Structure formats: structure tokens, C-alpha cells
Amino acid sequence: MSKKKIIPKKKRPIGMAIRQDGPLYILALPGIIALLLFSYLPMTGIILVFKEYNFKGGIYKSPWAEPIYKNFQFFFNNISTAMRATGLTVMYNLLFFLAGTILSVAIAIMLSEISSKKFIKISQSIMFLPYFISWMVMGAIMFSLLNAETGLVNRLLLSVTGQTFDFYSHPGAWGFLLVIANTWQSCGYNSIIYYGVLTGIDSSLYEAAHVDGATRWQCIMKITLPLIKPTVVILFLLSVGNMLRGNLNMIIGLTNLNPILLPMTDLIDVFVYRSGVRNGEMAFASAISLYQSIFGFLLVITANKIAGKFDSESTLF
């Protein structure tokens, strides 16, 4: 049999494309303008990291730094502090993702097993509320719970053990507390994403499994989790880009930058804020942001390549 030749479609002239799809271009125009103004145009300010910034000259008229890498020196000259900040940032982001994903997927699966739509809507609304609570308010709530003198947790400890525990003087406790606080705030929002994925799974797969005698737990392990895995991988790849970005608002809100707790709370953004922004060293802060962005980009590329070796359909590009 002779193979049919595939004739490529002729490209439309630009003028014809604009006339035919004009409303679509107009609809996309505000988003394109916002993307250019707030995402691409600010990239010109990257030259700040190579300058001796002063407020009179601004970004473009400030003199060039000598040596050109001067703004990176402060961060890497304090190598022990820099490595501690980098290690803490990566550790917390990994823990946040793992704890948040496990709890969010578990909540989504539990909701999918409930038949009452009204109960599901009420539950989702309640779980979604912490996402809108500011870290300052959450810090006040945590202080009322953990305060050594009047905190609810310490009153319970006093009644049970006869002793109290000053959480704000023991850095080791805050690795656990920060993971709890972050997971409590974000798991409700993330569970809605996973619940949306679960509602799109073909119900005939579960019906066929039940006919074959599969239990509910077996359906979850053999059908639900494998089908939700691509979404988990994609969300992980998206989070990898921010692996070196710490949540400064969270640390300020929950600990008020308590110097005693810095061994467990001195993330990269906290270190930059303490060392650069407070002292008006904007060029230093921008240099570290560039370091975070480049390292995050490399992490995304690497993680995407690794994910592609296991499942090509779970990659970003």
C-alpha cells in the first residue's frame, strides 16, 4: 500500500490571524501586559547585584562594585552561617512538602469516600480557612498555646508532669512546630487540588475492582494512589524551584526573629533580612536572591530530568 503524503497546512498571514482571532488576542492582552510589567521588566534590575547601591543613584546610576562579585562575598565569607541557612531552608521545604502531601492526599481520599455532598462542602470550607489566616495571627495563637507562664500546652504539662517547658528558649522544638504550623495552614488548600483530581477518576475502575472482590483499601492502593501520582510529581517539580526560598513572614510571625531560636529558624531569607535589608544593603539582598533563583532553576531542570526517566508523562517539559 502506498503511503499518503502529509501536506503541511499553510501558515496564516499575521493580519488574517489577527482578524480571525482578534477577540482572543484582546482577551489575552491584559495578562500579557501584566506578565511583561511584573515578571520580565523587573529582570533588568538584576544589574543591582553588581553595583554599589545608593539611594541617590538608584539601580541604574549607582557605581559598579569593585570587585564585581563584592555583593556575594558577605554571604559566602560567613560560610558556616550560609551553609546552615541553606541546609535549613532545603530541609524545611522538603519536610513541608512531604508532610503536606501525605496529609492532603489522606484528607482528599477520605472526602472522596464520603457520599454526603453537603458534609464535603462544609468540611472543605472549614479546612480552607487557615489558608487565609496571616502568620502574625498564627504567631499570636501559637504564643497563647506555648507561652511558658500562661500557655494552654504548658498548663496541661504542669498538671500532668508538674513541670513546664519554655518552647521559646529551646530551638530544637521548632523544627517540629514549624512543620505543624505550615501543614495546618496549607493542607486544606492542597487537599482541594487532590480532591479535584480524584473526582476525575473514572468510577468504572472502582466498580470493576469491587466486582473482582477488591476491598476499599485495595482500591485506594491499586487505583487511587497510582492515578494521583502524576499530580504529586508535578506539584513537587513546581515546589523544587522554591527549594531555596524560606518563608520570612512565617518566621517573623511565629518567632519574632527570636535570636535564641536562630539555630533552627535562620533560613536564607531570614539571614538576608537580618544582614542586608535591615542595614539597607539592597544589593547584597538582591545578590542572594539571584543565587536562590539560579540554584532553584538548576534544581527544577535536574528534578524534571530524573522524573522523566521514571515517567515521561509526569514531567513539566
- CATH, residue 288: 1.10.3720.10
pLDDT of 96: 92
pLDDT of 95: 92
Q: Confirm whether 20 is domain-assigned.
A: no
What's the CA gap between 197 and 33, in Å, rounded? 31
Q: How far is CA 135 from CA 93, 103, 247, in A?
A: 17, 21, 10
Q: Are 112 and 194 in contact (CB under 8 A)?
A: no
Q: Confirm whether 41 is domain-assigned.
A: no
pLDDT of 179: 93
Residues 6+ apart with CB under 8 A from 299: 240, 241, 243, 244
Cut 0.85: pTM above it: no
Angle at 106 (CA atoms; ends 193, 230), nearest 5 degrees? 50
What's the CA gap between 191 and 235, in Å, rounded? 12
**Number of structural domains found in the chain:** 1
Q: Confirm whether 248 is domain-assigned.
A: yes
Q: Confirm whether 247 is domain-assigned.
A: yes
Tell me the pLDDT of the chain (317 aa) as tens digits. 445 554 445 566 777 777 788 888 889 899 999 999 988 888 887 888 888 877 787 778 888 888 877 877 777 777 777 788 888 998 999 999 999 999 999 999 888 888 888 888 888 888 888 888 889 999 999 999 988 888 888 899 888 888 888 899 889 889 899 999 999 998 888 888 898 888 888 888 888 888 888 888 888 888 888 888 888 888 888 888 788 888 888 999 999 888 899 889 988 888 888 777 666 677 777 788 888 888 888 888 888 888 777 767 667 67
Q: Confirm whether 256 is domain-assigned.
A: yes
Q: Confirm whether 173 is domain-assigned.
A: yes
pLDDT of 1: 46
What is the span of the domain harbouring residue 218?
Answer: 70-311
Q: Confirm whether 178 is domain-assigned.
A: yes
